[in-house]
Structures are given as structure tokens and as C-alpha cells.
């Protein structure tokens, strides 16, 4: 059974940008509840309540009971618009859901057993390709996280969606390929050695051209004059 969070809201009477700005000036956050073949419901919320829930992990995977004037709307958060400078919520969208509603939702990925990965123990780097995985599921089966096991992974190994056990009734939206979630990459020092770069202080290979002579202190190096060349040939 999915956990449901209760949050309070009030009805707002007018739609439009001007009405939304007036709500913000009053210190509230405008929002809307839509879906389930019903007319949209315009609401406003206390920003403290919304920010508290928004800052918790998995905000978009949690079901809310929005209490409005003595009645309740069961919803799923779908979008939060943030101020470009302050990052404070400026608008929130909720979708009405029922127990059997099938939804598309992005679920955060959590990695476990990092200490049991030989590649990470040898200094490898975990390259995360997908921090979230989008899935289809019913509202009652929304996972809070999708756990990826790194046990046994060495440098050069990767983990794909086929290696992840999803909860019953949950399936990825991408079904045409076995997509990568993360990989263990070699550390930068090891990558440089594998690419054939010479180590510091290593002797130059046979046949390599000698470095150009350095300029003398205080002036540029000069080519010998023609007379000097002829004199050198007579010796």
C-alpha cells in the first residue's frame, strides 16, 4: 500500500496570470488539480507546507490527499514551477488518481553494495547514466526508489535494466532496448596509461626527434651565418 501524505489547500476563484500573481503577492502558492474526467480545481497552498514536502526525496512519486474546504482530493504531483533566482515554488500541478489509475512516473535510482564492487575498490569511478528510471505502474504500486546492486562489478562493467528486479506491476517505459543505468569506469591515471601516454621521466623512443635547442637567456637562438657554415665545412 502506497503511503499517502496529507496537505491543506484553499480554493481560489480566478484563473489567469494576474490572479496567480495576486496569490503570490499574498504569500501563497497557486496550483491546479486536474484529471479523472473532472473539471480542473484551482487551489492555493501555504508555501511552507509545499517546500517541506518538495525538499524530501521522491516528491513526484508520493501520493497526496489535498484537503480543500472539508473534502479530499487524492493526487500525484506532476510539476512544480520554480522562481529562476530564488528557486521558491511559484506554481504546482497535481493529477487526480484512483486506486487503479495507471501512471507514468520517474523513480529515483539508489545504488547499494558499492563497498562490494571490485572495480570501485581499485579506484574505479561510478558513472551514473540514469539517476531516474521512468516506469508504468498503478498508483498503489509506485516504488519510492529503484535499487541497483553493484556487487561484483569490476572496471569496464555496466549494469542494465535487465539486471534490476522491479516490484510487481512495475515495468519500464523503454522496452525496445536493454538500456544502461550505470558503469564502472577506470580512474583517470589508469586511463592515461592504457592510452599509451609516456610516463613522466621515461626515456624517449629510438628514432624520436631531439628537442629543439633552447634560446639563450636574454635572447633568441640564432641560425649560423653563411660564412660560419663554409668555415665549418673546411674543418
User: Residue 20: CB partners within 8 Å, gap ≥ 6?
Assistant: 30, 91
The reply to whether 93 and 110 lie within a common domain is: no
User: Is 229 inside a domain boundary?
Assistant: no
User: Is 204 inside a domain boundary?
Assistant: no
Residue 36 is predicted with a pLDDT of 87
The yes-or-no verdict on residue 196 having pLDDT over 90 is no
Separation of alpha carbons 60 and 56, rounded Å: 10
The reply to whether 122 and 73 lie within a common domain is: no
Q: Which residue has the higher pLDDT, 205 or 21?
A: 21
The reply to whether 73 and 112 lie within a common domain is: no
Return the C-alpha cell found at 114.
558499492
pLDDT in tens, 20-71: 999 999 999 999 999 988 999 999 999 999 999 999 988 999 999 999 988 9
pLDDT in tens, 108-165: 999 999 999 999 999 999 999 999 999 999 998 999 999 999 999 999 999 999 999 9
The reply to whether 122 and 78 lie within a common domain is: no
User: Is 180 inside a domain boundary?
Assistant: yes
User: Is 39 inside a domain boundary?
Assistant: yes
Question: 189 falls in which pLDDT band (50, 70, 90)?
Answer: low
Range of the domain at 108: 104-194
Rg (CA), the chain: 31
The reply to whether 26 and 73 lie within a common domain is: yes
Q: 43 near 64, Cβ under 8 Å?
A: no
Please report, for the domain that includes residue 53, its CATH number.
2.40.240.10
Please report, for the domain that includes residue 120, its CATH number.
2.170.120.20
Q: How far apart are the first and last CA of the chain?
A: 99
Amino acid at each position: 500500500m502506497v503511503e499517502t501524505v496529507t496537505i491543506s489547500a484553499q480554493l481560489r476563484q480566478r484563473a489567469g496570470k494576474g490572479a496567480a500573481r495576486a496569490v503570490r503577492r499574498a504569500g501563497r502558492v497557486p496550483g491546479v488539480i486536474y484529471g479523472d474526467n473532472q473539471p480542473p480545481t484551482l487551489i492555493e497552498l501555504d508555501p511552507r507546507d509545499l517546500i517541506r514536502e518538495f525538499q524530501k526525496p521522491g516528491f513526484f512519486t508520493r501520493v497526496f490527499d489535498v484537503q480543500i474546504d472539508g473534502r479530499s482530493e487524492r493526487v500525484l504531483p506532476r510539476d512544480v514551477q520554480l522562481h529562476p533566482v530564488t528557486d521558491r515554488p511559484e506554481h504546482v500541478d497535481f493529477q487526480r488518481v484512483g486506486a487503479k489509475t495507471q501512471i507514468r512516473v520517474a523513480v529515483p535510482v539508489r545504488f547499494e553494495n558499492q563497498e562490494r564492487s571490485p572495480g570501485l575498490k581499485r579506484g574505479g569511478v561510478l558513472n551514473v547514466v540514469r539517476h531516474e528510471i521512468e516506469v508504468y505502474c498503478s498508483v498503489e504500486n509506485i516504488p519510492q526508489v529503484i535499487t541497483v546492486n553493484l556487487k561484483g562489478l569490476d572496471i569496464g562493467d555496466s549494469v542494465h535494466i535487465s539486471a534490476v528486479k522491479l516490484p510487481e506491476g512495475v515495468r519500464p517505459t523503454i522496452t525496445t532496448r536493454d538500456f544502461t543505468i550505470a558503469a564502472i569506469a577506470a580512474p583517470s591515471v589508469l586511463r592515461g596509461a592504457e592510452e599509451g601516454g609516456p610516463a613522466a621521466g621515461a626515456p624517449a623512443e629510438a628514432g624520436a626527434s631531439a628537442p629543439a635547442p633552447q634560446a639563450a637567456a636574454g635572447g633568441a637562438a640564432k641560425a649560423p651565418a653563411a660564412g660560419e657554415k663554409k668555415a665549418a665545412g673546411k674543418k
